[in-house]
Structure 1
């Protein structure tokens, strides 16, 4: 059997205050993470990091495939419009 812990009321009060403080910090962190503006900022940074390296230079290996697809789509639309006239 375990022996009951004998704590003074002041020790119990201090422990409750510490727990309350930790819970408050956790709630603040959750609110900050769930803030729509912060979510958008994180997504923006994630996308920019995909297309721009840490020195601010473009990452052509990530830029070229979507650019080529967009150019091919535009070219295809132009060709189709000319064929249908």
Structure 2
């Protein structure tokens, strides 16, 4: 018996349709989950944490003190600029 449309029983066709419907429902659920604002925010936070770790740690996990110091200096400078703008405003 070949898989031509005329050789399939109604039950086989209904089973294929049900399986396709289940696959599509799973795909829709996955897309809904991936595009939920909370999930997008969670992924962005995870990415930011990973980049920060890569920037401040060596591959073996040791702290890169020179980079941490540079990041701290940049943060202090940004805070100073913000404070100066508030005083002028």
**Could you state the TM-score of these two structures normalised by the residue count of structure 1?**
0.64
| Greater shift in the superposed pair: 43-52 or 66-75 | 66-75
Contact 1:33 1:39 in 2 (8 A): yes
Tell me the C-alpha RMSD between the 2 structures: 3.5
Aligned to 2:87: none
Matching of residue 71 in structure 1 with residue 44 in structure 2: no
* Residue pairs, 1:2-13, within 5 angstroms: 5-13=6-14
Q: Any gaps of 5 or more consecutive residues in structure 1? A: 81-85
User: 2 CA distance for matches of 1:61 and 1:22?
Assistant: 51
Deviation of the 1:9 alpha carbon: 0.1
Contact 1:32 1:38 in 2 (8 A): yes
Aligned to 1:34: 35
Q: 1:61 to 1:22 in 2, by over 3 A?
A: farther
Deviation of the 1:51 alpha carbon: 1.3
**Could you state the TM-score of these two structures normalised by the residue count of structure 2?**
0.62
Aligned to 1:22: 23
Q: Any gaps of 5 or more consecutive residues in structure 2? A: 85-89
